[in-house]
Amino acid sequence: MQSEIQTLARFTMRKPFFTTIPVILTLFFVTAIGFPIYAQHEADHHDTTHIQAGLDSAGAPHAAETEKFSANEVIIEHVLDDHQWHFAEHLVLPLPIIVYSAERGLAVFSSSHFYDDHHHEIEYNGYKLEGRNIVLTATGEKVLDLSITKNVAMLFLTAVVLLYVLFTVARSYKRNPKKAPKGLQSFIEPVILFVRDEIVKPNLGHHTDKYLPYILTLFFFILFGNLLGLLPGSANLTGNIAITLSLAVLTFLITNFSGNAAYWKHIFWTPGVPLLLRIIILPVEIIGLFTKPFALTIRLFVAITAGHIVLLSLICMTFIFHSYIVGIGASVMVLFISLIEILVAAIQAYVFALFTSLYIGMATAEDEHH
């Protein structure tokens, strides 16, 4: 442990690294996100100029209303899930569409078939997009959508990165069990020890070894998902309520299946209180079973989604006000908020792991009443 702390201390004393890298990453974020928005804005402005002159983008006569830059579309496109991965203007990654309907059976094709050369939505093989849903063209009926969407692809990417990092650290530890950690191991190992000693052990006691793998998996999955979600062009994985709900449901199931007799006794027949109060407390305790996973779901979802919306809103201000001064001011704000978002990414992983440990610890604690 002494060598681990010394190694980590030497790493954190490299001030140029910790003062320069965040600034470079943030400037990269602003440039990579802002340039596609700028390109889209310029394309819309070009079309608008022709339309106002009574011509379309090809110079032909055309009558239409003026199109303006829409910050809402830019933000919603990033926050919500989609059947394609849009990185920048004219840089789109098609994703597999997998749908099933009783009428047409199973169908597998690329999402690129739903768009023409001008990126307008079209019908393909009896299917079409209606909003963000796939429906049958003939009846408008929704189909069973099992497609690899942007968030699903991001989920796979996060899992691959997570497995690569942790298996690399495990191999390093097996090769050099008695040596001071180096490289990636020197960064990950203190985090593992922190989760074990400061989060899991105080809440689970002698049950630590049993539940530590699950809580470590939760912590690193949320941490990696949060950090990867801050990269330019990435998907809003942990800001998707389906993802946070799935994690919360897993915690809910593990907590209640691990509950001992004392845990259920406190819920259905709270000891040490009068009979009348037991009747009042019972519905409160039952509701509390479901408010815990609900709180886990909403806390992570809101914190991550709100951060993404704020960052994109500040970047979009430049193109809304058409001002370089606003752009400079917004870039400075994005710099500081991006640094805060990195901190929030770690805090949300810590909070989710902490409350999971607390809930499981409450369910497995021994009865103190006699």
Q: What is the pLDDT along the chain (370 residues), one digit of tens a residue?
A: 434 434 434 433 333 433 344 444 444 444 444 444 444 444 444 444 444 444 444 444 444 444 577 778 778 888 888 888 887 777 888 999 999 988 888 999 998 888 887 778 889 888 988 888 899 988 888 899 999 999 999 999 999 999 999 999 989 888 888 788 888 888 899 999 999 999 999 999 999 999 999 999 999 999 999 999 988 888 889 999 999 999 999 999 999 999 998 899 888 888 878 888 888 888 998 999 999 999 999 999 999 999 999 988 888 888 888 888 888 888 899 889 999 999 999 999 999 999 999 999 999 987 654 3
Assign 289 to helix, strand or coil.
helix
Assign 146 to helix, strand or coil.
coil
- Do 156 and 142 fall into the same domain? no
Contacts of residue 334, defined as CB under 8 A and 6 or more positions apart, other chains included, come to 26, 29, 30, 311, 314, 315
- Do 297 and 195 fall into the same domain? yes
- Do 235 and 263 fall into the same domain? yes
User: Rounded distance, CA 23 to CA 156, Å?
Assistant: 29
3-state SS, 89-102, equals CCEEEECEEEEEEC
What is the CA 127 to chain-centroid distance, rounded?
29
- In this prediction, residue 25 carries a pLDDT of 46
Query: What are the b/e assignments for 299-316, b being 16+ CB within 10 Å?
Result: bbbebbbebbbbbbbbbb
DSSP state, 365?
Answer: P
Last residue of a domain, one of 129, 147, 165: 147
Q: Is 191 exposed, middle or buried (0-12, 13-18, 19+ CB in 10 A)?
A: middle
Rounded to 5 degrees, φ, ψ at 264 are: -70, -30
DSSP state, 176?
Answer: S
Q: 11 is written with which tokens? A: 């790493």
- Do 110 and 257 fall into the same domain? no
Query: 317, 34 in Cβ contact below 8 A?
Result: no
∠ CA 218-222-224, rounded to 5°: 120
Give the length of the chain: 370
- Do 2 and 119 fall into the same domain? no
- In this prediction, residue 367 carries a pLDDT of 66
Query: 307, 337 in Cβ contact below 8 A?
Result: yes
- Do 125 and 20 fall into the same domain? no
Q: 242 is written with which tokens? A: 């389906």
Write out the residue range of the structural domain in which residue 49 sits.
Answer: 1-91+150-370
Q: Is the pTM of this model over 0.85?
A: no
- Do 55 and 158 fall into the same domain? yes
Q: 247 is written with which tokens? A: 């994690």
- Do 139 and 156 fall into the same domain? no
Q: 195 is written with which tokens? A: 């989760």
The Cβ of residue 41 has, within 10 Å, a number of other Cβ atoms equal to: 21
Last residue of a domain, one of 147, 164, 189: 147
Query: 95, 83 in Cβ contact below 8 A?
Result: yes
Q: With CA atoms as reference, report the closest residue to 37 among 330, 242, 291, 353.
A: 330
- In this prediction, residue 149 carries a pLDDT of 92
Question: What is the total count of domains within the chain?
Answer: 2
- Do 256 and 350 fall into the same domain? yes
- Do 30 and 118 fall into the same domain? no
- In this prediction, residue 368 carries a pLDDT of 57
Q: 214 is written with which tokens? A: 């699950």
User: Rounded distance, CA 5 to CA 190, Å?
Assistant: 8
- Do 134 and 279 fall into the same domain? no
Q: 108 is written with which tokens? A: 């597998």
- Do 10 and 47 fall into the same domain? yes
